[in-house]
Structure 1
Amino acid sequence: MPVRSPYPDVEIPDMSLFDFLFDDFGERADRRAFVDGGSGVSLTFADLKRMVLRLAAALAERGVGAGDVVGLFAPNTPYYPVVFHGVLRANAIVTSANSLYTPGELAHQLTDSGAKLLFTVSAFLDRATAAAAQAGLPPESIILLDAAPETGRSSLRDLLGTEAEPPAQTVGAADTAVLPYSSGTTGRAKGVILTHRNLVANLLQIAKPSNVTPDTTILAVLPFFHIYGMTVMMNQGLHRQCTVITMPKFDLQEFLRVISEYRINRIYIAPPVAVALAKHPIVDKYDLSCIDVIFSGAAPLDAELGRAVAARLGCTVLQGYGMTELSPVSHAMPDDRPDLDLNSSGFALPNIESKLVDPETGQEVGAGERGELWVRGPNVMSGYLNNPEATAITLDDEGYLHTGDVATVTEDGVFSIVDRVKELIKYKGYQVPPAELEALLLTHDKIADAAVIGVKDAEGEEVPKAFVVLQASGADLTAEDVMTFVAERIAPHKKVRVVEFIDEIPKSASGKILRKDLRAREAATS
């Protein structure tokens, strides 16, 4: 039987994202909506709405309209939502690009999405120019968020100088709003078609378990180009009419300074940040007593690590689950239930049905059993752009999205993500979840970070290999020490059998371990 959310369904209005978010800021209009944590530059809600309408008018003057796609390749800044919502208000579609992309990766996204324009910043101009050229876009298609007259490029300031009126709105709830790119359960990055209704629905869904109010101050260090930052930080800030402090990238010392200076009380992170908060000595140098809630997403957070953060900072630590194809959140621990197992992802959000399916038999499994998580709800994507084969693999005829993640559920409807279907290691027929071993390794006081993949041993058997990053105090730790540490705490078939010490674990901008990069490294050295 599918597991329904314990929350009653929410009513989802039939409107565009712009109308949903910008209809009426009321007495909040002159309060700060977005603030740059480094410079202090800020935009009020009224400033933001005025700029969004101006930009929509300027884009319409340039011929951008319904069905057109505009690329956004930039770090977090208060002007990111100006461009994002200006494009949507012009009846067009945003494709948000990873700020770490190479020219080739960006060119693929521009070409695949059919982007007509590209907004970027001067620091990214070399890569943006090369990518635009590869994608066949003319130089004038690039617009800078920051003013850089020496480049000869148009800037956001130039466009905001228009005297034109914004175009009539022609898009509705069912129209495509954004095309973020995701590898999904497998393969090269694909455009994920998310509608205005998807995004509006998810904002209403996440509002139920979380206590975000106009008095909340959110830190946005995770990137707006990623659906986590886009929905949970940027757009939730607008929806709940609270202040969002932006950071262009993660730097621990700056991260701590910004929290302390701006008295931030709600922080969204990925697990690698939790490792630093739990273990780095510099954390004790800052007054972080303002923090009420730290919410982790993008990858599973180990309970022991989360409890260590909570104890050190005196705050509540929660986590949830989602993916780009879910706009992104489908499950979350509620603010008022810190008693839940921190290894869990909490309950399904309103309007969501979930079920767990044995990936080998295709049969539903019950409480306490492992199965692939399938999710159905109004936040589920329409499909992958120009890729019906991948869409058919991921979305079934009943509307369930097959997440590729292995989960369990309790009788009370509490879900826990335990691994990826494709990343389970099969050791002599036994399933070995890499995430479980990684969480255990992180409990070692001399290990700063870790990742686990399956590799072949001399007999051709797949065995767990750990890549380990040492703390400064861990120089004397040996591979044998690591294997013994794990072996003493886990079932024999799950033991780590190979260890390699490396300087850094490769991760995506959202904090997910890039195991494919580790597998490529392994292939290159074997």
Structure 2
Amino acid sequence: MATSLNFFPETSEPKTTHLPDWYSPETRIYSSTYSSISLPTDPFLDVVSFIFSHQHDGVTALIDSSSGYSISYSKLLPLVQSMASGLHHLGVSQGDVVLLLLPNSVYFPIIFFSVLYLGAIVTTMNPLSNMMEVKKQIVDCGVRFVFTLLENVDKLQKLGVHAIGVPENMDLDSEKTGFLSFRKLIGGQFGKAPRPVIRQQDTAAIMYSSGTTGVSKGVLFVRFEASQYEYSSSKNVYLAVLPMFHIYGLSLFVVGLLSLGSSIVIMRRFDASELVKVIDDYGVTHFPVVPPILTTLTMRAKHVCENSLQSLKQVSCGAAPLSRKTILDFVQALPHVDFVQGYGMTESTAVGTRGFNNEKHHNYSSIGLLAPNMQAKVVYWNSDSSLPPGFHGELWLRGPAIMQRYINNVEATNMTIDKDGWLRTGDIVCFDEDGYLYLSDRLKEIIKYKGYQIAPADLEAVLISHPEILDAAVTSAADEVCGEIPVAFVVRRHGCTLTKGAVIDFVANQVAPYKKVRRVVFTESIPKSAAGKILRKELKSFISSRL
């Protein structure tokens, strides 16, 4: 059956004068095309009770990919309750903040839920963080207890917190005495912990984000939107490579899917050489990824036998923009797999949009349709005027998943959320006439050339289409006459003779005159985060020191 492949709209003008029913011309508010989802109304229904109140026929909850060790749904809540009893005996009480400084493991969700079970608050960090970063977060949100890897326990004890070592392998009978505290906590030796009165509006977690201002801030959450994942099924098998200490992995693997009976195969650390084997061995059906992992999967898919990767039904990608070439390469390598993109922020509990395709229409380049219960505005960045479909502006979001506030930072909260509850995302987007959303760039990354606005992503898409260019990134350099000019960092194919002038001419032939690249820097690689986001600060630092 023929399908259509839609990429970013070529024009910023609306294609139709007939406005759809999901957009109000009076309020200029966009609504989700999905049906609204009923949210719990009981003010005393806490996250843990809500998650485990869902009825499903799921059997296996969590599977360790390297050992095959698994935890069934029938044992999941008893383990959470045992751990909660142990924590209560240790002195954890309602309102205490507990840090999870851990990589992915089958124990991560159990620890998370056991903390919330007591009315305490979870905060998370990348386990690769240095002790200065850890100390800052401990002080910022008043951490009293930490779950971490064994090698960090002594360092954390010196910071005045109670640190508990968590085994990386699944052998709780290990002779290592360092895990004795953990074994006692989860061993069910302390009876049942008393449950405090927990309200829906009580803080559940503090997740850290750079937000729209670039400085790391603690985001307070009172709820996690488990209801957003109600379309999933107990027959689905998800591969968890994304870190659970990040809002994307936490909201999906720890909160969302465990309420629905899906099985979650957990890779403690991403290993490209093991990826195909894990997918085939466990019959993985769904694989949420970030751009670097998508690229790895595509490369591996090109060199496997025809029986490999056949269990895969859907791959979803988020956290950073994708180039047209990356999308096409994946679709060609795995044509039987549904590919979608999504959008969310730490400040929106990773909820924003949801990708959607059907048999006749494959909209691979869109970041999806507005998620259920979510509203949006598209606001012109030089004013507060809202824009209809077909026009580009800053995305504002409003809905039950939006954060409560930033911790200890009233100014940043007021800059990010207005008096009516709208979250200013800092992302430039456009809705098409079908309700699909397209991400253009970050507002703070827009290049201002002689009063014109230039999105780096537009130029990067042109650059990456050149057959001799492997990768590219664009940022701005200060200019006395023009204000700012676009500078392209380019990774050339090995052995090619492409010149800087040829790159400038190639772009100039495909864009408006004001959008032309003015300078080119050849480099061996483009600096990117683990999620695949271009680290433009590093590019700007290079420009400041060299150009």
TM-score for both structures, normalised by structure 1: 0.89
Q: Is the 8 A contact 2:57 2:261 kept in 1?
A: no
What is the Cα-based RMSD across aligned positions, in Å? Answer: 2.6
Of 493, 498, 511, the match for 2:514 = 493
Shift of residue 429, structure 1, vs aligned partner? 2.1
With over 3 angstroms needed to count, the CA separation of the structure-2 counterparts of 1:454 and 1:60, relative to structure 1, is same
* 1:45 lines up with 2:73 in the alignment: yes
1:111 is paired with a residue of what secondary structure? helix
Q: Is the 8 A contact 1:441 1:450 kept in 2?
A: yes
CA–CA distance in structure 2, aligned partners of residues 408 and 385 of structure 1: 31
Corresponding letter in the other structure for 2:200: A
| Equivalent in the alignment of 2:93 | 65
2:383 is paired with a residue of what secondary structure? coil
1:378-411 CA deviation, whole Å, 9 max, x = no partner?
A: 0010010111110000011101111111111123
**Identical aligned pairs, as a percentage?**
37
Q: Is the 8 A contact 1:326 1:381 kept in 2?
A: yes
| Equivalent in the alignment of 1:205 | 228
Q: Which has the larger radius of gyration?
A: 2
Q: Is the 8 A contact 1:2 1:353 kept in 2?
A: yes
After superposition, residues 429-448 of structure 1 pair within 5 angstroms as 429-448=451-470
Corresponding letter in the other structure for 2:310: S
* 1:220 lines up with 2:265 in the alignment: no
Q: Is the 8 A contact 2:449 2:482 kept in 1?
A: no
Higher relative contact order (CA 8 A, sep 6+): 2
| Equivalent in the alignment of 2:13 | none
Shift of residue 235, structure 1, vs aligned partner? 2.2
CA–CA distance in structure 2, aligned partners of residues 356 and 232 of structure 1: 27
* 1:422 lines up with 2:444 in the alignment: yes
Of 35, 38, 43, the match for 2:63 = 35
Shift of residue 451, structure 1, vs aligned partner? 2.5
CA–CA distance in structure 1, aligned partners of residues 491 and 181 of structure 2: 42
Q: Is the 8 A contact 1:358 1:371 kept in 2?
A: yes
With over 3 angstroms needed to count, the CA separation of the structure-2 counterparts of 1:277 and 1:268, relative to structure 1, is same
Q: Is the 8 A contact 1:464 1:496 kept in 2?
A: yes
1:288 is paired with a residue of what secondary structure? coil
Q: Is the 8 A contact 1:213 1:241 kept in 2?
A: yes
Shift of residue 332, structure 1, vs aligned partner? 1.5
Corresponding letter in the other structure for 1:71: L
1:347-366 CA deviation, whole Å, 9 max, x = no partner?
A: 21121111111121111112
1:412-466 CA deviation, whole Å, 9 max, x = no partner?
A: 3222111111111112222111222333334445544433211235867422223
After superposition, residues 17-416 of structure 1 pair within 5 angstroms as 17-23=47-53, 27-28=57-58, 31-122=59-150, 125-126=151-152, 129-130=154-155, 133=158, 136-138=159-161, 140-146=162-168, 152=178, 155-164=181-190, 165-196=192-223, 199=224, 202-207=225-230, 211-278=231-298, 280=299, 283-285=302-304, 287-314=308-335, 315-336=337-358, 339=361, 341-416=363-438
1:64-111 CA deviation, whole Å, 9 max, x = no partner?
A: 111111001111111111111111112111101123322222221121
CA–CA distance in structure 1, aligned partners of residues 125 and 481 of structure 2: 43
With over 3 angstroms needed to count, the CA separation of the structure-2 counterparts of 1:150 and 1:36, relative to structure 1, is closer
Q: Is the 8 A contact 1:144 1:154 kept in 2?
A: no
* 1:513 lines up with 2:534 in the alignment: yes
CA–CA distance in structure 2, aligned partners of residues 154 and 406 of structure 1: 51
TM-score for both structures, normalised by structure 2: 0.86
Corresponding letter in the other structure for 2:213: T
| Equivalent in the alignment of 2:21 | none
Shift of residue 129, structure 1, vs aligned partner? 4.9
With over 3 angstroms needed to count, the CA separation of the structure-2 counterparts of 1:509 and 1:69, relative to structure 1, is farther
CA–CA distance in structure 2, aligned partners of residues 267 and 428 of structure 1: 44
Q: Is the 8 A contact 1:223 1:510 kept in 2?
A: no
Higher helix share: 1
CA–CA distance in structure 1, aligned partners of residues 56 and 478 of structure 2: 62
With over 3 angstroms needed to count, the CA separation of the structure-2 counterparts of 1:221 and 1:483, relative to structure 1, is farther
Corresponding letter in the other structure for 1:268: P
Corresponding letter in the other structure for 1:307: L
Corresponding letter in the other structure for 1:258: V
Shift of residue 291, structure 1, vs aligned partner? 1.5
With over 3 angstroms needed to count, the CA separation of the structure-2 counterparts of 1:379 and 1:486, relative to structure 1, is same
Q: Is the 8 A contact 2:340 2:364 kept in 1?
A: yes
Corresponding letter in the other structure for 1:274: L
Shift of residue 503, structure 1, vs aligned partner? 4.3
| Equivalent in the alignment of 2:17 | none
Q: Is the 8 A contact 2:94 2:196 kept in 1?
A: no
Deviation larger for 420-429 or 100-109: 100-109
Deviation larger for 86-95 or 457-466: 457-466
Q: How many residue pairs were aligned?
A: 509
Corresponding letter in the other structure for 2:77: K
* Structure 2 unaligned blocks of 5 or more: 1-27
Deviation larger for 146-155 or 285-294: 146-155
Shift of residue 243, structure 1, vs aligned partner? 0.8
CA–CA distance in structure 2, aligned partners of residues 420 and 338 of structure 1: 32
Corresponding letter in the other structure for 1:79: Y
| Equivalent in the alignment of 1:11 | 38
